[in-house]
Chains A and B, each alone.
Chain A
Amino acid sequence: MKRKNLYGILTAVVLVGVNLSSCSKFLEVEPKEVLTEDQMYRDIFDADAAVIGVYGKFLGLAEQHVLWNELRADLLTVTPQADPYLHELSLNDVTAISANNPYVNPRKFYEVILTCNDVLKNFTAMRNENKLDVDQYSARYSDIMAVRTWIYLQLGVHFGKVPYVTDPLENMDEVLDQSKYSFMEFNQLLPKLIADMEAIPSKRIYNTDESLRLSVDGFIMERFFINKYALLGDLYLWHNDYTKAADAYKNVMTYYDNQGNDDWTFNYYKLKERSVTDNNDLSIGYLRNREQDVRTFINSKTQGWRSMFSRTQDGIWNSEWVWTLPFSSNFGQGNPFIRYFAINGGEYLLKPSQEIIDQWDNQTQWNGVPYDGRKVLSVADADGMPVVTKYLDQYTALGTLVPIDQYNKGGKWFLYRAAKLHLRFAEAANRDGKHKVAYALLNNGIRTNYDNSASSDKTDLQQTQLPWPYDFDARMGQVPYFRGVWHRNEGIRGRAYLRNRVIENPADSLIHIENYLVEESALEQAFEGSRWEDLLRIALRRSDPAYLADKVYNKLSKDGNPNADAVRSKLMQQENWYLPFRWKE
């Protein structure tokens, strides 16, 4: 046996020798197009490239993310041009989704997860070999872990139970190996994800001296990376840990406080009050003293509420956005949402549902205008056809909806902004018994709701006088002089120029306020990929399937869909809330 082996080895050596003599140079050259494993993680720049690589892949999930969270819910629906698979998603009868529906395939999500796993393993290895210092490692490791956790949260929300894989796998299909990775229920997955996020070494954004903060192609990278506190807040909120959720959210809301820059302190994530004189704000507004004249309505890409979706990354933009990723024609195909939404330059496959139009039309602005201004700024009417414009403002001209430059398909994936942060903080606060805080943030802000206008001494007014995370100081006194951190907050509805919600039954203010918060989320963030999350979270929390089923029913019945009743009764069963986990190449 041993002898035979020896012969074998000898033969091999001789053969290799013969080969070498004939083509030795070929073997010495390493292939140029392919990086070998040991070439990939050598220094901090390789680590940065890996981070950017993960985000590059992550960008490919944008379409499915928005389709899952909006088309399955009640605010977005299909046009006649949409393919049958989109119809299936819009109908949201998960028992009738065809086997080869490409939109429900979770494979892309796992591709990014496995990349994250690989990157995380290598970052740890680099740290052990001292190729990264502690701070460099903490920031990058935490970032990638947060991205992975975000993806798992999405998978959990939409599939109910998924394989939870934390190993880097060579072969993707190993994900389906039930012996190694059994399907984990959402309520088991959540604690895992929370534990993952609690364990990360850094929850802060990349420091300004980090190489990853350098601008790329004019895009300032500060809002490019996931916000870990916001994600943690979401996880706690799903898990009904309200105080912890509020704590995490409050960390985002106050992240820029007291760093020596008053604009940061008073404006960033504070939902700053309107700028009545020049409309350089993110509010629904009119020209000053002409509020009665609808011709002065601020409908602009550089002023007012609409501008947040397309304005340059200035201080006002930064005061709203928590996380957003840019699409650019310079890389890949550009903004994928143009295809779904645009009527010129796109295929116009999706449109706003009658349900969201009706919800907007049920609002009245302060000047008596009988609809929500955010309707006009989120949706346009093209010869009777409603068009979602939120994703198109960087691509098409206002009014005509014609592409400004049809080859420049820019745009953004809107992942997190201050309004969402406030709504979710308020949701946690409300459930945590702090109804008035929630009411104030939803309506016209902290200051007015904790004020007594008869008293000019504001020392003990205009503040919540609660401990962290419910402490809000919105004092704006002249004598004595106060400018509390929150004095500019005008609330979600205040910013939208809408009247306060009326709590008709104070005894049941908890449910009342929660319903209003979810409704406001629709009005404010329609089509931005939050809706299904909102509906599912509330339905799970209340164990109330009707909450979710009725919403989808409203959309379908207003669309005249004959299956509306059937879908409603299916959605009354919790097992029908989740997409089938169908793995496809």
Chain B
Amino acid sequence: MKNTLIYVIALLGISSFLQQCGDPWEDHINEGLTDINQSLIQRLENEAGASTFLSLLKEADLGVELDGTNSYTIFVPDNQSIGAIAAELRSDKGALSNFVKNHIAVSTHRLNTSADTIQLTMLNGKILDMLSSRIGEVSFLKSNQGSSDGLYHILAAPLMPQQNLWEYITAQQDYKQNQFLSSLSTYKLYDDGLLDSEEDSLLNNEFLHFVGDVRLEKDRFTYFVLQDVAFDKDVSAFLPYVNYRNEADSSIQISRYYVARDLIVRRAYNKEGLPSELTTMSGGKLVVDKSAIVESIQLSNGYVHVLDAALLDNTQGVTNKLASFKVEGEEPSSFSHSRPSNTFHRDRQDPNGLLFRDIMVQNHGVSMFTINYRLPHFLSTSYDVYWRALNDIQANVFQQRLRILGEEYPGVLGAPTRDEMYLSPYTDVPLMNYDEVYVGSFELSEFQQVMAQLMAAASTANGVNTVVLDYLRFVPKVK
């Protein structure tokens, strides 16, 4: 009796501890049967529901031997669930091997009952998520069956090998949007001479290079593809914002790019789990009406949702898409004069307790000292610009101003030249002001790469010609 009591107390202790640090322990509760005298294959041969998969496994070319030299985890779809597709698989060697490999992972992986995802790399390179007693979307019939060289689980359904997002885009060429993104591998969007990756020709593709490498199995994406009518509508709606050197063809391509690049999110959402508002990988806001989704496709690294409605045919849609752009003061491209010992990167705290780092150039002795910031492509629209500039270590108020220069071109004798697009008046930097300050607004008639210049006062006097900047923020406006 006394002994029992001790055991009960001990069990209570263990269980309370398990609650704290969780899941690896909980797995031990789901202890399956382990027979270390039998190999994985021997055990499967005695498993009634595994015969179909086992025969497929024996026929497939795996590139590895299940001979006990390494341990594996096999996720075995139950006979019933693959009876219908077995014959079809047998007729295509490649598909068969891909299918079988999608059910095998190196090393032993026990059933994960927790809500924390465990990512398993299968033999075909695909990564499957195991969580909440499911792998992929499939549930387990029997789990944690051990042997001398690995584990197997019996699944209620097969794990069909899935395309990743890039495989989907290149394979599914019925949509203009996909055609366009594929074509970027050979078509150069801008004539800037950039983008020539020797190692990976696909990185010449602006979408893969600048937006995200959607070929990666370990990352997760949600991609929206517009049906052709909607896509064309959006492209022409956005065309005024991407007037590239007044060339219609190039502008259309860029518009296509801008429409497509804002249709991808760095997380996997199925249709049910889709939030009403998303932040795209290029920083824009995306509001999707679920009723516009006509088809959803699961991928190995995410989901595709096909939309039949245009997004930019209303002002709100365009407003959502126009993300503001911020450049940090302490990340300049160059300076008008080299003054390293007067250039300070400073750590500060705003009244809300948030830390920030800014740049200050003080006592540099140069009249109209300038810090240059090369910025990415700006849209052919008007912008409001704000700065945050903290004047906290001087006793006096000083002034600075902002200049925006247009895209660089070869000027007189081929010298690189930029035209002035905007010059703000000299603006006071008041003492101890942590607020964002409106600096001015300017309009660009063409889509181009601009440069921002922060300019000190026209004086060589210390304290007067100080420049300071936490960040510049550019807010594009709807036309």
Contact = CB atoms under 8 A, between A and B. Distances in A.
Contacts of A370: 347-349, 355
A80 interface: yes
Interface in A364-418: 367-371
Contact of A368 (B20, B343, B392): B392
B191 to A, nearest CB: 37
Contacts of B345: 293-295
Interface string B11-43: 001000100110000000000000000000000
Nearest to B22: A80
A290 B346 contact: no
A267 to B, nearest CB: 29
Contact of B346 (A80, A84, A369, A371): A369
A197 B394 CA distance: 56
Given A292-B362, A292-B393, A294-B357, A371 B347 contact: yes
B347 A369 contact: yes
Given A368-B392, A368-B393, A290 B344 contact: yes
Interface string A68-95: 0000000000001000100100000000
B3 interface: no
B338 interface: no
A277 interface: no
Given A368-B392, A368-B393, A370-B349, A293 B344 contact: yes
Contacts of B17: 84
A181 to B, nearest CB: 31
B346 A292 contact: yes
Interface in B48-91: none
A259 interface: no
Give the interface centre of A87, A289, A369, A370 by most chain B CB atoms within 10 Å.
A370
A263 B392 CA distance: 39
Contacts of A289: 341
Given A80-B21, A87-B20, A368 B348 contact: yes
B360 interface: yes
Interface in B391-424: 392-393
A368 B349 CA distance: 9
Interface residues of A, number: 15
Interface string B315-351: 0000000000000000000000000010111111100
Contacts of B393: 292, 367-368
Contacts of B344: 290, 292-294
Contacts of B347: 294, 369-371
A367 B345 CA distance: 12
Given A368-B392, A368-B393, A370-B355, A294 B21 contact: no
A137 B358 CA distance: 63
Nearest to A562: B20
Contacts of B392: 368
Interface in B344-393: 344-349, 355, 357, 360, 362, 392-393
Contact of B341 (A98, A290, A369, A371): A290
A496 to B, nearest CB: 16
Contact of A294 (B13, B341, B346, B362): B346
* Interface size range of chain B in the complex: 10 to 19
B120 to A, nearest CB: 21
Interface string A307-330: 000000000000000000000000
A467 B406 CA distance: 75
A293 B348 contact: no
B96 to A, nearest CB: 41
Interface string B233-269: 0000000000000000000000000000000000000
Nearest to A365: B347
B227 to A, nearest CB: 41
A293 B349 CA distance: 15
A530 B271 CA distance: 56
Nearest to B357: A294
B468 to A, nearest CB: 10
A293 B468 CA distance: 12
A369 B349 CA distance: 8
A276 to B, nearest CB: 15
Contacts of A368: 346, 348, 392-393
Contacts of B341: 289-290
B343 A293 contact: yes
Interface in B137-155: none
A357 to B, nearest CB: 12
Nearest to A88: B17
Given A368-B392, A368-B393, A293 B20 contact: no
A295 B340 CA distance: 11
A289 B13 CA distance: 60
Contacts of B355: 370-371
A371 B356 CA distance: 12
A496 B343 CA distance: 23
Nearest to A295: B345
Interface string A23-62: 0000000000000000000000000000000000000000
A424 to B, nearest CB: 32
Interface string B432-459: 0000000000000000000000000000
A327 to B, nearest CB: 30
A87 B18 CA distance: 12
A289 B342 CA distance: 8
B346 A293 contact: yes
Given A368-B346, A369-B346, A370-B349, A292 B21 contact: no
B117 to A, nearest CB: 16
A102 B392 CA distance: 54
Nearest to A291: B344
Contacts of A87: 20-21
Interface in A79-131: 80, 84, 87, 98
Interface string A337-376: 0000000000000000000000000000001111100000
Interface string A271-297: 000000000000000000110111100
Contacts of A84: 17, 21
A181 B200 CA distance: 77
Contacts of A80: 21
Contacts of A290: 341, 344
Contacts of A295: 345
Nearest to B390: A368
Nearest to B10: A98
A298 to B, nearest CB: 15
A236 B405 CA distance: 72
Contacts of A369: 346-348
A98 B348 CA distance: 46
A152 B11 CA distance: 37
Contacts of A294: 344-347, 357
A286 to B, nearest CB: 10
Contacts of A293: 343-346
A25 to B, nearest CB: 54
A107 B444 CA distance: 78
A84 B20 CA distance: 10
Nearest to B350: A370
A251 B133 CA distance: 67
Contacts of B343: 293
A367 B13 CA distance: 52
Contacts of B20: 87
Contacts of B362: 292
Given A98-B13, A290-B341, A369-B347, 12 more contacts: A87-B20, A289-B341, A292-B362, A293-B345, A293-B346, A294-B347, A295-B345, A367-B346, A367-B393, A369-B346, A369-B348, A370-B349
17 contacts: A84-B17, A87-B20, A87-B21, A289-B341, A290-B344, A292-B360, A292-B393, A293-B343, A294-B344, A294-B345, A294-B346, A294-B347, A368-B346, A368-B393, A369-B346, A370-B348, A370-B355
Query: Closest 7 interchain pairs by CB?
Result: A370-B349, A292-B344, A293-B344, A369-B347, A294-B347, A295-B345, A294-B345
Interface of B: 13, 17, 20-21, 341, 343-349, 355, 357, 360, 362, 392-393
